[in-house]
Structure 1
Amino acid sequence: MNVYVFPNLDKQNCREVTTEACRILDNEKVNIFMEERYCKAFDKLDFIHFADEVKCIQTSDFIAVIGGDGTILKCADAASVYNKPILGVNCGRLGFMASLEHTELDRLKALCKGEYTLSRRMLLKIEIIPLNGEPLVFSALNDVVISKCDDCKIADFEVSKSGQVISSIRADGVIFSTATGATAYSMSAGGPIIEPEMECIEFTQICSHSLFDRSMVLSPESVISVKCRCNYNSHSVVNVDGNIVYRLSGDDCVKISKSPLRLNIIDIAGGSFFTSVNKKLMRPLKGFSEEI
C-alpha cells in the first residue's frame, strides 16, 4: 500500500502527529510518500520517499491529510481529479471532514487492514463568464461565495435557475454550498445542516436586506446563474473554498452546477460526521488557548 502524507505544519502539534502517524504506517509495511518541500522537516524519518506533488498523488492509493478541514480542501481538487480517497486526521478546531482525531492514530492500523468505508461527496462546478474574455472554471468541495468588497456599500444579487429568476435581493453576499459545505460558512449564515453524502446545492443569503432570507435547497441538476451589481466604482468577488479567485464587474456572470468530479473521504471510525456534529456543534467551543 502506498500513502501520500500531506501535513499542515502551521497547525499546532502537526509535526509530532505526522511523525507518529508515519511511524505507525511504516510499521504496517506501508510505503510513505511526501512532497520534497518537507524533506528537512522530516529528515530523520529515512523511510519516507520524497517526490514532487504529481508523483506523490499518482503513486498513492490514498492521501492522508494531517491538519484541519482547510487542509483537506487544499487537497480536494487534485484528489478528485486523480480519484484518490482522502483520510483526514484532525489537528484543527472542528474537523468535520476528518475521520480521526490526532489522539486516535492507532486506528490507522484498521486502514491498512481495509477496515473502513468511503463517503462519496459531490463537488460544485463554478464557471465565471466575463463580459470580455475566456470563461474560468473551478471546482469546490465546500462552497462558492459571491460577496461585496469593502469598497461596496450596496450590492444587488440576481439568482436564476434555468433562466428563471428565483431570488433578487440586496445583501452582503450569497453562498452556494454542497452538503459537505453545509456545516461551514452556510451554517454560520443560517443555513441547515445536510447529511454530507446527499447531492444538492444549498443557497444561503448573507445579511439580506429582506424579510425573506431563508435558505433554499436545490436539486443537483440545477444550473444556477448569478449576477451582482454594486454601487459606482466598487466591486464584488468570487470566493471558492476559502480562496478569492476573481473580481467581478457588473456584467460578469457566475454559473454554478454539479461537477462531474467526486471526492471519496475515508471513514475509519464509522459515522464520524454525526459524531462531529454531536461533539463539536452541540457544545460551546473551548477558548483559543485550549486544545480542541
Structure 2
Amino acid sequence: MAVTRLGLVVHGGRPEATAAAVTVRAWAAEHAVECTDIDVWRDGEGRTAREEMDAAGNPDLVVTLGGDGTFLRGARLAAENDALVLGVDLGRVGFLTETSVSAMRAALDAVREEVIEVDSRMLLTLRASRRLQVPTEMEALMKYGRGPLLPPPQVRTDCEVDEVWGVALSVTALNDIVVEKLSRDRQVSVGVYVSGRLLASYSADALLVATPTGSTAYSFAAGGPVVSPRAEALVFTPVAPHMAFDRSIVAGPDEPIGLRVLERSGAAAVSIDGRIQGVLEPGDWIGVYASPRRLRVVRLGPMDFYGRLRRRMNLTDAPAAVADGAAAPLWSVTGPVPEDLAHLSLPVVRDGPAPGR
C-alpha cells in the first residue's frame, strides 16, 4: 500500500533518536509524504489512541525511534488505525524493532516501494466488571519516573454491557495484561478462569496473560515459555505464587482468561503493556481475550525469530557450549526443500541481507 502520511514516535530522551527523526522528516519531504510527530510522552497526556491518531491525521505508517518500549507506544496507535508500524532500533534489547538507524532510509524506501512483508501479530483486549480508573492519590506515585499516565480506557460503544459479561473496554495490548500487587507486604489473591471454568486460586505477586509476542517480555522473566510469534495462543503465567503449581498455562486463541480479585486480597493494579491503567478491589474482575484487531508490523524479509532469540540471549555463549569446545554450527538450508518437507516453515535462502539485517 502506498504511504501518504507518516506518524513519528520519537524517544525524546535519546539524542540519537532525535537525530534520526531529522532523517525521517527529510525522507518524507523528499517523497511528498506528510509527516506528523506524535508526542505520546507529554502532549499526548490524557488523549486516547483514537484521539492521538485523529490529531496526527490518521497516518497509514507509524515509525518508532527508540527501543521496544517506544515501539509498544507506537503499536498502540497503529493498531487503532490498522496502520503499518516500523520500529527503528535504538534500545538495548530489540525484540520488536526491525531495522537499525544506518539502514532506516533503505527500510522506508522498501515500505514506499511495497517490497516488504507484513507480520500480523495477535493483540489482547479485555472486559471488566467496571471501568478502570487510577485513584487520584496514586497518580503522582505512578507517574514518578514513567512520564504521563495513559488516560483510562474508554468503554466501547459497539459492544453490549451487562452484569455477566461486564464492560468492554477500548484496550490494546501487544505484550501482556497484568494484575499485580500494590503493596510490597501483601500479595494479590486471584481466582483464575479459563474458558469460563475455574482453574485455580492463586496468591502471588502478579498474574499475567501474554501474547506470543509478549512471551519474551515479563512472562519470560517470570519463568514462562518462549512462544513463536507465528503461534496463536494466550500464555497465563503466575509471578512468585504461594502454591506448588507454578507453571504457565498456554490456552487457545479462542479461550478467554478471567482474573477475579478474591475477598481477602489486597488491592491490585492492572497494567497493559507495562503501563498501569486501573486498580481493582476485592470482587472486581477482568476477562482477557484475543482482540479481533491485529497489529501489522513491517518486516524487511521473513523474520528470523529464533536467530534473534539466539543473538539477544547469547545462547551460543552458554557455559556448556564453551566447555564442549566450538559452538554448534548454524544449520544452513542451501538446497531445494524435499517434497515431504515442503509444507514446513523453513529459512529462505537469500542472495544478500535485507536492509537492517
Is the TM value for this pair above 0.5?
A: yes
Confirm or deny that 1:67 pairs with 2:66: yes
1:99 lines up with 2:93 in the alignment:
no
Task: Please state whether the residue corresponding to 2:82 is helix, strand or coil.
Answer: coil
Of residues 173, 191, 197 in structure 2, which corresponds to 1:158? Answer: 191
Unaligned 5+ runs, structure 1: 39-51, 285-292
Provide the secondary structure at the position in 1 that maps to 2:72: helix
Counterparts of 1:43-192 in structure 2, within 5 Å, are: 53-58=53-58, 60-108=59-107, 109-130=109-130, 135=167, 137=169, 138-150=171-183, 152-192=185-225
Say whether 1:10 aligns with 2:13: yes
TM-score under structure 2 normalisation? 0.68
- Correspondence for 2:284: 252
In structure 1, C-alpha distance between the alignment counterparts of 2:38 and 2:260, rounded to whole Å: 42
* TM-superposition CA deviations, 1:58-113 (whole Å, max 9, x none): 2x331111112111221223311211010100111112111102232243232332
1:11 Cα deviation from its structure 2 partner: 2.7
2:348 aligns with: none
Kept in 2: contact 1:57–1:79 (CA 8 A): no
Contact 1:99 1:272 in 2 (8 A): no
Distance in 2 (CA, whole Å) between partners of 1:36 and 1:195 is: 31
Structure 2 letter corresponding to 1:146? V
Following superposition, the deviation at residue 270 of structure 1 comes to 3.4
CA contact (8 A) 1:123 1:258 kept: yes
Question: Deviations along 1:221-276, whole A, 9 cap, x unmatched?
Answer: 012211123757x4111111111111111010111111111110001153253343
Residue in 2 aligned with 1:194?
227
Question: Contact conserved, 1:5 with 1:32, CA < 8 A, in 2?
Answer: no
Amino acid at match of 1:198: A
Q: CA deviation at 1:22?
A: 3.3
Question: RMSD of the alignment, in Å?
Answer: 2.6
Post-superposition offset of 1:187: 0.5
Code of the residue aligned with 1:282 in structure 2: it is N
Alignment check: 8 A CA contact 1:146 1:174 kept: yes
What amino acid is the match of 2:25? C
SS in 1 for 2:262: strand
* 1:16-38 deviation digits (Å, cap 9, x = unpaired): 122233334544x2514113769
Q: Distance in 2 between matches of 1:116 and 1:225?
A: 38
Provide the C-alpha distance between the structure 1 equivalents of 2:167 and 2:185, rounded to a whole number of angstroms. Answer: 25
* Alignment correspondent of 1:287: none
Bigger strand fraction: 1
Q: State the Cα deviation string for residues 186-229 of structure 1 (Å, max 9, x = none).
A: 00001111111322100011011222211111001012211123
Q: 1:139 to 1:163 in 2, by over 3 A?
A: same
Report the AA paired with residue 189 of structure 1: A
Return the alpha-carbon distance in structure 1 between the equivalents of residues 274 and 12 of structure 2.
Answer: 19
- Whole-Å Cα distance in 1 between the matches of residues 273 and 27 of structure 2? 31
Sort the Cα spacing of 1:275 and 1:116 in 2 relative to 1 into closer, same or farther, 3 A: farther
Report percent identity of matched pairs: 25
CA distance in 2, matches of 1:151, 1:130: 25
Decide whether the 8 Å contact of 2:256 with 2:289 is kept in 1: yes
Counterpart-to-counterpart distance in 1, 2:314 and 2:27: 32
1:19 pairs with one of 19, 22, 29: 22
Larger Rg computed on CA atoms? 2
Residues 1:116 and 1:275: Cα distance change in structure 2 (over 3 Å): farther
Report the counterpart of residue 47 of structure 1 in structure 2. Answer: none
**TM-score if structure 1 supplies the norm length?**
0.83
Aligned length in residues = 268
